[in-house]
Amino acid sequence: MNKFYGIIRNRIIPVTLAAIALMLFFTGCRSIGYYVSHSAKGDKSMYNKLTLEEENVIVNKGTEMPFSGKYVNFKEDGTYTCKRCGAELYKSPDKFDSHCGWPSFDDAIPDAVKRIPDADGVRTEIVCANCGAHLGHVFEGEGLTSKDTRYCVNSISLNFKPESESKEETSTGQKADAGNKYEKAIFAGGCFWGVEYQFQKTPGVISTTVGYTGGHVDDPTYKQVCSGETGEAEAIEVVFDPSKTTYENLAKLFFEIHDFTQVNRQGPDIGEQYRSEIFYTNDDQKIVAEKLIAILKDKGYKVATKVTKAGKFWSAEDYHQDYYEKAGKTPECHVYKKIF
Ligand SMILES: [Zn+2]
């Protein structure tokens, strides 16, 4: 597949849609493109590194395309944090469906979000109270919820912490086993767009993130990974609910949506970054992965899939996230084929 063509094509359609949506939603999160200086209180050395796309919204106060963001239709329990400084901003119970194309909340965590007059002289801009990152705008008097407030926030300005992780962090140093209800799985099976598409549709999967892992470069870019010099593999991180599905189910799905007999390639995608590899996050996952590989070998398959202890997983650039969902297409490179 030609990804670069895909990326260009994926941008032209949203740009047209966005132009229409921006006219319709006159009071929405429109970008005026102003550069407004603000004083950030946070320790800048602690900020997360931003991609150009993230910087365009968070620093330069741009606006992501409506209906394009990761959290527009996202409904999991947890906390939304600032992409740049990590401060907690919004809680999932305050999120509501406003149909405006951006994640909407009718309340914020106390003192976490600061309101400032927008440079357009009309709207009210919202920024992270800790670091000044641009989040979007706030509107009142629309009568959408009982609180009569709509914080209209760019997905790209946010990160999300599932309920279980929040509990784990707030407990006083002790791991909250009871509250830790979700588990992570990491798979590399060729172009991560298609792998993510297949896992997103699976019951019990809470969230998916495409990214890079298994190499030797910190926070690599897509371009670096494509060069084949980083050792990183295109991979996806799946957060799942073990009460609704099992790691074994997910690992079986992984084998059933890609060609695990190919070495360092998936069809037209050739290179080490397209290798088949399971990165286990605990010993139980390792046992399951090895068991499934043994079953496949018994069935006569030559299995190229490596099984490796998970290291750091680097989230890929935003335009790679939910690629097929955003593009409204289905992958040709990752098609389900029953084996087990
Ligand atoms: Zn912040």
3-state secondary structure of 191: coil
Annotated catalytic residue, options 100, 131, 152, 333: 152
3-state secondary structure of 96: strand
The domain containing residue 258 runs over which residues?
Answer: 182-327
What average pLDDT does this structure show over 201-222? 91
Residues 211 and 286 in one domain: yes
Domain membership of residue 338 (yes or no) is: no
What average pLDDT does this structure show over 166-173? 43
Residues 158 and 297 in one domain: no
CA of 12 to the centre of ligand 1 (A): 30
Residues 189 and 250 in one domain: yes
CA of 88 to the centre of ligand 1 (A): 8
Which one is predicted more confidently, 247 or 243?
Answer: 247
Q: How many domains does the chain have?
A: 2
Quote the percentage of the chain above a pLDDT of 70. 82
100 carries an active-site annotation: no
Question: How far apart (Å, rounded) are the C-alpha atoms in residues 85 and 92?
Answer: 19
CATH code at 297?
3.30.1060.10
CA of 131 to the centre of ligand 1 (A): 4
Question: How far apart (Å, rounded) are the C-alpha atoms in residues 65 and 75?
Answer: 20
CA of 57 to the centre of ligand 1 (A): 13
Count CB neighbours of 72 within 10 A.
19
Residues 186 and 273 in one domain: yes
CA of 32 to the centre of ligand 1 (A): 21
Per-residue pLDDT at 175 exceeds 50: no
226 carries an active-site annotation: no
pLDDT per residue over 129-157, tens digit each? 999 999 999 999 999 999 999 999 999 99
Domain membership of residue 201 (yes or no) is: yes
Domain membership of residue 50 (yes or no) is: yes
Residues 251 and 199 in one domain: yes
Domain membership of residue 94 (yes or no) is: yes
CATH code at 107?
2.170.150.20
How does the average pLDDT of the chain come out, rounded? 84
Quote the percentage of the chain above a pLDDT of 90. 64
Closest by Cα among 49, 50, 67, 37 to 127 = 37
Angle of helix 247-256 relative to helix 192-200, nearest 10 degrees, comes to 130
Domain membership of residue 30 (yes or no) is: yes
pTM of the model: 0.52
Residues 43 and 126 in one domain: yes
Contacts 24+ apart (CB under 8 A), 24-27: 25/66, 25/100, 25/101, 27/123, 27/139, 27/142
Lowest-pLDDT range of 11-25, 40-54, 111-125, 300-314: 11-25
Which one is predicted more confidently, 38 or 115?
Answer: 115
Annotated catalytic residue, options 82, 100, 131, 191: 191
